[in-house]
Amino acid sequence: MNLLLKNGRIVDRDKDFKGDILIGNGLIQEVGEDIQAEGVEVYDLDGKIIMPSFVELHAHFRDPGFPQKETIETGARAALRGGYTYVNLMGNTKPNASSQEVMDYVNGKLRASGIDGNQSITITKDFDGKTLSHLDEIQGIKVITDDGYGVTSSLTMYEAMSKAKEKDILLMVHAEDMEMTPISYRLSENLETIRDLYLAKETGVRLHLSHVSTKEAISYIREAKKTNPNITCEVAPHHIYLYDNPYRVNPPIRTREDTEEVIRGIVDGTVDAIATDHAPHTAEDKAKGSPGMSGIETAFSVSYTALVKSGKISMNRLSELLSYNPAKVMGINKGLIEKGMDGDFAVVDVSEEFKVDVNKFESKGKNSPFDGMTLSGTVKATVKAGRVYSF
């Protein structure tokens, strides 16, 4: 679809100016001021901010196996509602994403859903903590992760990293020493973070640390990145905005000191990306203690309110965290507003406040600690390959 976006404030990692964007064949054809084109649909942005669409590194769409929690279709609608056009999905489906069949099934449904994405494969087969043979049997793996579980065996993790390095696969870690969790969630995350950073240096793997939440883990990553360029990390919106809050997520919502250090890591460049860990549950499962929240529809608003409105970072840096860096981690053609990049955008209004109402979520999961809170910054439309989804 050919589309001309007019009169927007164009913001990405590098730029911030008033202008227009021409999209053709799903790609950006021209970026500039007062662009003229014939035979195209025109969408007037009316001065609103247009950013590269957001790239989600860490989401659970629950398909196959848990359609009562989410499906690819409802997850895709929630993603578009939140300004996202790409999602990287975790492997705790049923059956687990430990086979070619599950990966191909999910990737096929993603292609049909209206958004782009990738199904990650489990590091260990069916999360058993030891078996890696499936990694030699599956073709086309981009990412491996045992998200939801830490890989307790150091030998198994070393072998997984070595295999991922050999195959040029990104390895994402959920840093949790499962044996230590009953004693201390903090100690659990910190110990496995140290180990994984050390093993990554030894093996040369591309290592991405998911949902970093403690002040100590941030400091370990900051130090490790001084000598290892193959390390990236993400933090979740709820670990930026909330502290001393009992809402159940894994890793837990930490203390005020942790939240402040996570934000310092964002400000000083230690943190590469914001990822939602979108984890929808039924009301019944949540009441029974299932950890997680539906976060993909509120991620921009939470991040904008906590970071930009408060004066801690610029819109350019927020775009880098939500778009440019996640796209770079995944190796995809998104994240900047430049000729030749995918014609995918989020149109946002940062002058607007709203009260979060989970009953209005596109996601099946109506679980969020932000329900009833007032946030700033709304996603007014998402553009995917030249198609406009307005909200």
Q: Where in the chain are the domains?
A: 3-50+343-390, 54-330
Whether 213 has a pLDDT exceeding 90, the answer reads yes
User: Which residues participate in catalysis according to the annotation?
Assistant: 277
Question: Residue 155's pLDDT band (boundaries 50, 70, 90)?
Answer: very high
Q: What would the pLDDT profile of 186-200 be if each residue is shown by its tens digit?
A: 999 999 999 999 999
Share of the chain above pLDDT 70, in %: 100
pTM, full prediction: 0.97
Q: For 258-311, how does the pLDDT look when each residue is reduced to its tens digit (9 = 90+)?
A: 999 999 999 999 999 999 999 999 999 999 999 999 999 999 999 999 999 999
Beta bridge partners of 18: 9
pLDDT recorded at residue 168: 98
The domain 3-50+343-390 is classified under which CATH number: 3.30.70.80, 2.40.50.100, 2.40.160.20, 2.30.40.10?
2.30.40.10
Residue 1 reports pLDDT greater than 90:
no
CB 59, CB 86: distance < 8 Å: no
What is the residue-averaged pLDDT of the chain?
97
CB atoms closer than 10 angstroms to residue 380: 17
Model pLDDT, residue 117? 98
Dump pLDDT digits (tens) for 103-146: 999 999 999 999 999 999 999 999 999 999 999 999 999 999 99
Q: Which pLDDT band, with edges at 50, 70 and 90, does 18 fall under?
A: very high
CATH class of the structural domain 54-330: alpha beta
pLDDT given at position 217:
98
